[in-house]
Amino acid sequence: MSDPGVRNRKISASMFAAPFRRFENFLRLHDAPHTQSELMRARACYLIGLMFIVTQLINLVNMSWAYRTLTADHLISVKAILVVGATIVSLRWSKRMWLVASIYSVMVVGGIIASAWPTGLGINTSLLPMLILAIVLNGFVAGWRAALGFGAIALALTWALYWHSNHAHSPTIFVDRADIRLFQRAMQTTLAIVCVTGASALFACYMDRAFAKLEAALRRARDSDRAKTEFLSTISHELLTPLNAVVGLSDALRRTPLGHEQRSFVETIGHSGEMLQRTISNVLTYALLDASRLKLDHSPFELIEALREAIAPHALAARAKGLVFDERLSTQLPGRAIGDSKRVVRLVCELLDNAVQFTDTGRVEIRIAASQDEGRHVVALSVTDTGPGIDRDQLSLIFERFTQADGSIRREHGGIGLGLNISRGLTRAMGGDLTVESRPGQGSRFVAHFWLDAVDEEAEAKTVVDLVPELAGPKAAPAVRPAHLPLAGTS
């Protein structure tokens, strides 16, 4: 069982991230093959915009409470909210980050001028620190050139505001040596702008280089992973082809008249070939799952029949070991379903093989039930055993590839540690998940949930009749509906 604290933190993080994920889907940030740096810049653009909108909404409430009436400031805030909102929504169609940074920069400059020029505040405006934010934004979103460019604009605006303060005689600086104080404020702002501009430009330059190296490394890793998957697929197929012949011929040879020793040799060849066949099949399936290239079939099949065929050999193996084997298939299971029958059978076989293999005494139980939800079947599969169990700190590792709960298990039972990894991969490929509950000395319980589509029996029957018209019987003459049907016993 997993740690409840960790699980709760994961659920909380998922719930917090879900709205942002949906908003990013609306903006189509994940549609095109954007690089990670482009995705981060787009996120910075819409997050800063959303924070600006929130602050302006708070500002609107504050102004309404302070002024007790609507003013021109309300109209300015509403216009700013609309412009920023439209800029964020424009990311759905255009991913030109420099354009978004330019719009934000124009709004910052316009806001500072609107607050400083008509009132005569000049260099004393409270919005002056917004220049620093705009420089950092330009550097992060649009690159080092944009940081330097807006830094130059910020310097020009600073000294224009200083000039305006000297000529407008700002009412907040009626003290001795006011001109010196205004000059000092302009110089301090200039030094801050120069420092921030230089730091932002350097940071943007190094960030671009770092992202370029990271993305190149990711491309190399993807190419290497793709080459590994293709190699595993190719070599697996090349090995399976002659191996199938070995297994098939050994099975045919076993049916011929043989001596006791010869039959033992042939059975050993066949058993070893089947084990090798399964190992290669596991490696091939793992490679496809790892590369997200596993393709599921989507066709009708006999679900209950497929499940019973998958369970039968494991029931025999369990009883041969002296185990009690309990099979419970719910009456709510549909006889037919639409999905990948081979993957369903493979999932059942992997879980049962794992339970039978690691259980020496006691019982193995399989339960399969189903419920229907919006025209689809939710299949619940649980396999319970009385094996050695798994330590709590090992539960998170057993689904990892090439991993087993205990190294001694591999020496005793064999295997390469892919069974449960493949089982979880198959379950997730079918829209569900695989979980485990276990205690040392008390056994384990694996629970898988996955989806299968429901078969439209009426449409299927109609298709069969259309394909084979004889099944419909002779065509009847068109019936004429009588105007009146007398009731029994009346004339």
* pLDDT score for 168: 63
Cα(first)–Cα(last) distance of the chain, in Å? 78
The CA distance from 240 to 392, in Å, is 38
* pLDDT score for 260: 86
Cα–chain center distance at 34? 16
Complete domains list, the chain, with CATH: 28-221 (no CATH), 225-290 (1.10.287.130), 299-466 (3.30.565.10)
pLDDT along the chain (491 residues), means of 10: 49 66 82 74 87 90 86 84 90 86 89 82 83 89 90 92 75 57 88 92 88 85 78 76 83 85 86 81 74 78 91 90 91 88 89 89 92 84 89 75 54 60 86 87 90 74 49 46 38 33
The CA distance from 475 to 98, in Å, is 72
Helix, strand or coil, per DSSP, at residue 329: strand
Full-model pTM: 0.52
Whether 100 and 141 have beta carbons less than 8 Å apart is answered as: yes
Whether 431 and 364 have beta carbons less than 8 Å apart is answered as: no
Whether 348 and 448 have beta carbons less than 8 Å apart is answered as: no
Q: Is the dihedral of CA 131, 134, 136, 139 positive or negative?
A: negative
* pLDDT score for 366: 93
* pLDDT score for 358: 87
* pLDDT score for 308: 92
